[in-house]
Amino acid sequence: MEKNNASLVEEFQRYFSIEQATTPAQLENVYRVRYRVYCEEFQYETPEAFPNQLETDEFDANSRHSLVVHKASGMPAGCARLVLADEQRLMPMEKYCAHAMDESIIRGFDGRRDTICEFSRLGVDGAFRRRPGERESRFGEIAALDCSKREQRTFPLVALATILSALAMSELIGRPHCFAMMEPFLPRLLGRSGLIPIPAGKETEYHGTRSPFYWDTRVGVSNLAEDFKAFYAAIRADFTAAGAASARSTPVMSWSGRAEVEQRAQWPHFFRAQYAI
């Protein structure tokens, strides 16, 4: 890894944590970042539809979520999710942008929908996209977020960290075939890290100009620029360790516990999403 980029990644890891969002509190932070980005800032979704200021949708209950947190302030800085497809459930891009997709790519997996997923809802809070020297933000908290220039240098890595976290989740859960509807800037951002997405259809209008893309996580990881392979490896190792710790601490489910899970399946969507079942 080049010294400058290596030190920048090390600095980022000093100021931010990268987590799999599984608890109700973590998921609330994910949905809050999404509300700020997708509803307040870019207005892709109607703010009035989410009076609790948590942006959720029908796909969250069947997704894996990741979260980047600013350690000093505790503020959620960025998030992403992987939507898991199966025989009954479509990916968001299949539901809303099927006309733009190259169906031959999905058919190429011989119907194995348990190996595919969609990367979506990438969001970086506006407070962590400011340039050094900017003191104002429409969200208010930025005035209280007193960061040094050294710390602010790491802010551009928030987006990359969420992307690498999604790669790690994709690899760890055995869903290597990943799709995404991307704005024009995102393939360029991915390309800088060495992850080259493959066009998977044609350009369309969906909350702005979007195009479908595909990548195989295993190939993508092997092609990561040397500057970022160690970064990815650290994220993956943290996720693996967290998963192992969770497995050790999870008690054997009693019959009453199974009944509770079955009962949760009948709860309204928002609560199912909060518990990620």
- What CATH code is carried by the domain that includes residue 71? 3.40.630.30
The two three-digit tokens of residue 27, written as one number:
């998921």
In 206-253, alpha helices (H): 217-222, 226-249
| Residue closest to 172 by CA, chosen among 235, 120, 247 | 235
What is the average per-residue pLDDT within 101-106?
88
- Position 85, amino acid: A
Q: Specify the 3-state DSSP secondary structure of 121.
A: strand
**Structural domains counted in the chain:** 1
User: Which of 26-40, 187-201, 237-251 ranks highest by mean pLDDT?
Assistant: 26-40
CA triple 48-212-270, angle to 5 deg: 30
Give the confidence band of 190 by pLDDT, cuts at 50, 70, 90.
confident
The pTM of the full predicted model, rounded to 2 decimals, is 0.82
The residue range of the domain holding 65 is: 3-275
Q: What is the mean pLDDT of the chain?
A: 82
The total of other beta-carbon atoms located within 10 Å of residue 129's CB is 17
In this structure, are residues 15 and 150 in contact, taking their beta carbons and an 8 Å threshold?
no
In this structure, are residues 80 and 158 in contact, taking their beta carbons and an 8 Å threshold?
no
pLDDT attached to residue 2: 52
250 contact partners, CB below 8 Å, separation of at least 6: none
Helices 185-193/157-172 angle, 10° precision: 70
What is the average per-residue pLDDT within 99-112?
84
C-alpha gyration radius of the chain: 19
Distances (CA, A) of 117 to 25, 63, 174, 180: 24, 9, 10, 9
- Position 112, amino acid: R
Q: Is the pLDDT of residue 262 over 90?
A: no
Give the confidence band of 161 by pLDDT, cuts at 50, 70, 90.
very high
